[in-house]
A = this chain, B = another copy of it.
């Protein structure tokens, strides 16, 4: 079962990664790859000459496949970029209406003039906050205290990054009493983009106005009677907040400091962090209006069952190239079924309401 030949010490590599030293990392990888290359020769050498010859031809065929596949990845990325460009003017119109930069009239859009008649409410108040709160994954992250600050959110954008690969989320805020920054960013660096493997996540450090930090609460303790210092002792504690999203989980410098349970906990935190980021990228940004009105909720829960709009027309290419002895036992009736409703993201779905349970919120005291 165990394949010792192909086992190598991931801990070595992890510690190289932790030192954030590109040269170390590259050296570690090089030596591993050299040893793997050796193993690869071993595997071929253990084969009889005839089988080895066949495997060499198979490797050429694999090479042809991989060249085609590289073209596929390229074309798919170009297709995605093409559509991202087509979406941009629509996102800009949305931004202008949401923030009151343009006014609508009889279904058409007109620009607001500073000296024209203005109504009391500018744009669509709390647009992004409402959209995010209607999404199950994000609603769990937003505390009541966060809502005050998230009302100042003017826009969210995302873009791909290259070298290293990944993507960046940008949160644009209006001037607000909570923090100085006008843009908060969150960047995900991926190792593998196709089946995404997260390398690290980076967030903007938030410059909170004094006493306005939403990610910490201040505990005041009465000093002990007879204590020399008569002032109350203040202690800050981290608390739940959407803005913790900009301070993502970190791996300790030395991975010997972390036991198995702590590693699993960290793993879960990083998964949740990635889940939030990809929800904002894939759901909130493209469909913010539908999340604001609540229309996206049913679409998210029941997918394509009622909605034929994004039916994908794929040519079924199901012809068998080999002749197989089809057995009569392969009827559909013979198949065992298991029925359930399940999200890949790992969020419990069985008998769960729309909103998951949360621990009690923390409030500034």
Q: Which of B50, B57, B104, B298 contacts A36 (CB 8 A)?
A: B298
Q: Which of B13, B81, B352 contacts A341 (CB 8 A)?
A: B13
User: Would A58 and B121 count as touching, CB distance under 8 A?
Assistant: no
Query: Is residue A74 within 8 Å, beta carbon to beta carbon, of the partner chain?
Result: yes
- Contact residue range for chain A? 35 or more
Give the 5 A-B residue pairs with the shortest CB-CB distance, closest first.
A192-B303, A250-B338, A251-B340, A77-B312, A62-B289
Return chain B residues, CB-CB under 8 Å to A61: 90, 93-94, 97, 289
A64 to B120: give the CA distance in the assembly, Å. 29
A 237-265 binary contact with B (CB < 8 Å = 1; else 0): 00000000011111100010010100110
Q: Which of B5, B84, B124, B324 contacts A182 (CB 8 A)?
A: B324
Using a CB-CB cutoff of 8 Å, which residues 147-203 of chain A contact chain B?
A: 154-155, 159-162, 165, 172, 175, 180-183, 185, 187, 190-203
Query: Is residue A316 within 8 Å, beta carbon to beta carbon, of the partner chain?
Result: yes
Q: How many copies does the complex hold?
A: 2
Instruction: Tell me how far the C-beta of A29 lies from the nearest C-beta in chain B, rounded to whole angstroms.
Output: 6
A90 to B134: give the CA distance in the assembly, Å. 47
A59: nearest residue on chain B (CB-CB)?
A: B289
User: Would A7 and B355 count as touching, CB distance under 8 A?
Assistant: yes
User: Would A322 and B95 count as touching, CB distance under 8 A?
Assistant: yes
User: Would A76 and B73 count as touching, CB distance under 8 A?
Assistant: no
Instruction: Tell me how far the C-beta of A217 lies from the nearest C-beta in chain B, rounded to whole angstroms.
Output: 17
A337: nearest residue on chain B (CB-CB)?
A: B202
Instruction: Tell me how far the C-beta of A203 lies from the nearest C-beta in chain B, rounded to whole angstroms.
Output: 6
User: Would A309 and B66 count as touching, CB distance under 8 A?
Assistant: yes
Known: A251-B340, A349-B267. A50 touches B192 (CB 8 A): no
A 322-350 binary contact with B (CB < 8 Å = 1; else 0): 10111101100011111111111110111
A162 to B180: give the CA distance in the assembly, Å. 51
Name 12 A/B residue pairs within 8 A (Cβ), A-sorted.
Answer: A1-B133, A32-B298, A36-B298, A43-B294, A48-B121, A88-B317, A155-B322, A183-B327, A193-B312, A195-B282, A202-B335, A270-B340
Instruction: Tell me how far the C-beta of A49 lies from the nearest C-beta in chain B, rounded to whole angstroms.
Output: 9
Q: Which of B88, B123, B197 contacts A344 (CB 8 A)?
A: B197
Q: Which of B17, B172, B310 contacts A340 (CB 8 A)?
A: B17
User: Would A336 and B205 count as touching, CB distance under 8 A?
Assistant: yes
Query: Is residue A111 within 8 Å, beta carbon to beta carbon, of the partner chain?
Result: no
User: Would A109 and B309 count as touching, CB distance under 8 A?
Assistant: no
A301: nearest residue on chain B (CB-CB)?
A: B10
Extra contacts besides A62-B288, A191-B341 (18): CB < 8 Å: A3-B134, A3-B139, A10-B341, A10-B354, A17-B339, A29-B302, A54-B103, A58-B289, A61-B90, A65-B87, A76-B79, A182-B327, A193-B303, A202-B335, A250-B337, A267-B346, A270-B340, A346-B346
